[in-house]
Amino acid sequence: MADGLSRRDFLRGAQALAVVAAASTAYAGRLPEQMAGDEDFWREVRRAYVRDPKLINLNNGGVAPAPTLVLDAEIEAIRYSNLLPAVRMWTDLEPKIETTRKQIAAMWGADPESIAITRNASESLQIAQFGLDLKPGDEVLLTSQDYPRMITTWQQRERREGIVMRQVDFAVPVKRPEDLVALYQRAITPRTRVIHVSQVCFMTGQIFPVREICALARQHGITSIVDGAHAFAHVPFKFAAAGGDGLDCDFYGASLHKWLSAPIGTGVLYVRRDRIARHWALMAAPPSMDNNIRKFEEIGTHPAAMHNGIQQALAFYEQIGAERKFARLRYLKQRYAERLAQMPGVTVLVGLAPELSGAFSTVQFEGVDAGKLASTLLEKYSIVVVPISGPPLNGQAGAKPQFTGLRVSPNVYTSVEEIDLFCDAVEKTVPALRA
């Protein structure tokens, strides 16, 4: 396997961050697109990770490994906390969440008092979904390709409270971002109270024009909830920015253990400041916290050590650079997508332009069972990918899926050699499975 790590070139903790920082400084004058294919720079980034040398991991969309410096910080804090948790965890470590809050706010253009630290995207988004006051007949608008757990959450409110969840379908690949804005615009009714939108669709890697969709929601007096699970620390953006270029959403939820590579079990919730006081917390907080973003963190005892790891992940991300990282991830995606698209009966289910997709895509292989293909790649070539099935046509239970394929999601530690090995394996396997 390409680029396995030995003891000799194993870079740990602060040393790894220092190496990446030095490399970033050395390349400061170069555009992100110029850096995307510079293997010398990305080799230094790869050395900050320790990975299973027996596998090629192309499923970073579900959960990603953390750089060694992140893992070391978390483990060190856990050991420190464990010596006397009632003091060291609650008194020494827990206050550090405020530093994490401020760092995230500064890097993504938000007021720190609008940022809550959670355990994952699902928790963040369910805080947003369950905390809204809705009446029977009020409509929530989303697509059939939104994340199943979030769809399930709205369905529970349907069963319990009589609200109406309306899902719209769209064909893939999407060719023009404005078509997605029009999709929501056509579906708005006088009863629409919420637009729930994925910034990056987990099924295909489709980037949604969320700024325009949130503006559409605001124009109609509709609450906007953005699922940023696959966008945070992947697609560059700001919550608020000069010139009105921020997302300007009401709620935003994401996991930090995906593209930020923070400790597993960490997430972030953004709530617009003027929405905090009238939004119910998922777990109860006292009335004195009604206007306090921290009411959404009232979950009881939790491992405060993770906050230290988040800070290290933020430092690592900042040293790489948001635009530089996005360019590299697109570069890796383009490398396999453009090559596989030349095969007969192969369709990449997302446009390859930077406004349409970034780090990952789903590739459909006509006449091939995606699950069997994924299993073969793992068993025969030690390559990890995930099979994806789209929603059923016309929302009919038991109907044929709109699409099936392999979701391929490399990360910053992925080498071009690994991408090429994946393509070689697919080119050998697909014809055999079709035979």
Strands 164-168 and 139-143: parallel
Q: What is the pLDDT of residue 5?
A: 35
Q: Which of 208-222, 288-302, 381-395 bottoms out in mean pLDDT, i.e. has the lowest?
A: 381-395
Say which residue the tokens 């789903």 belong to.
362
Q: Are strands 115-118 and 267-271 parallel, antiparallel or unpaired?
A: antiparallel
SS3 363: strand
Q: Is the pLDDT at 216 greater than 70, yes or no?
A: yes
Q: Is 269 helix (H, G, I), strand (E, B) or coil?
A: strand
Which residue's entry shows tokens 């992940």?
313
Q: How confident is the model over 80-96, as a mean pLDDT?
A: 93
| Spatial distance between the Cα atoms of 305 and 310, rounded to a whole number of angstroms | 9
What is the pLDDT, as a whole number, of residue 392? Answer: 84
What dihedral angle (degrees, nearest 10) is formed by the CA atoms of 157, 158, 162, 165?
120
Torsion angle of the four alpha carbons 295, 301, 305, 306, in this order, in degrees rounded to the nearest 10: -60
pLDDT at site 22: 75
DSSP-assigned letters across all residues of 45-100: HHTT----TT-EE-BTTT--PPPHHHHHHHHHHHHHHHHSHHHIIIIIIGGGHHHH
Average pLDDT score over the chain: 93
The pLDDT score that the predictor gives to residue 27 is 75
Average pLDDT of the segment spanning 232-243: 89
| Domains of the chain, residue spans | 72-316
pLDDT reading at 14 higher than 90:
no
Give the rounded distance of the alpha carbon of 255 from its chain centre.
6
Read off the pLDDT of residues 364-376 as tens digits, 9 standing for 90 and up.
999 999 999 999 9
Which pLDDT value is given to residue 26?
77
| % the chain with pLDDT above 70 | 94
Q: What pLDDT is attached to residue 16?
A: 65
DSSP letters spanning 131-193: TS---TT-EEEEETTS-HHHHHHHHHHHHHH--EEEEE---SS---HHHHHHHHHHH--TTEE
pLDDT confidence of 310, banded at 50, 70, 90? very high
- pLDDT, residue 10, reads 41
Mean pLDDT of 275-282: 97
Residues sharing a CB contact under 8 Å with residue 112, sequence separation 6 or more, in sequence order: 98, 101, 102, 105, 106
How far is the C-alpha of 167 from the C-alpha of 187, rounded, in Å? 9
Which tens digit of pLDDT belongs to each residue from 153-204? 999 999 999 999 999 999 999 999 999 999 999 999 999 999 999 999 999 9
| Mean pLDDT of the 125-132 span | 98
Share of the chain above pLDDT 90, in %: 86
Asked if the model's pLDDT at residue 7 lies above 50, the reply is: no
What pLDDT does residue 4 have?
A: 39
What pLDDT shows up at residue 15? 65
| Residues contacting 247, CB < 8 A, separation 6+ | 210, 211, 214, 226, 237, 238, 239, 240
pLDDT at 302 over 70: yes
Whether pLDDT at 6 is above 50: no
Q: Which two tokens stand for residue 22?
A: 């030095």
Q: What digits encode the pLDDT tens for the residues 30-73?
A: 899 999 999 999 999 999 999 899 999 999 999 999 999 999 99
Report pLDDT for 350.
98
Task: Indicate the fold that domain 72-316 takes in CATH.
Answer: Aspartate Aminotransferase; domain 2 (3.40.640)
pTM: 0.93
How does pLDDT run across 382-433, given as a tens digit for each residue? 999 999 999 986 666 667 888 999 999 999 999 999 999 999 999 999 999 9
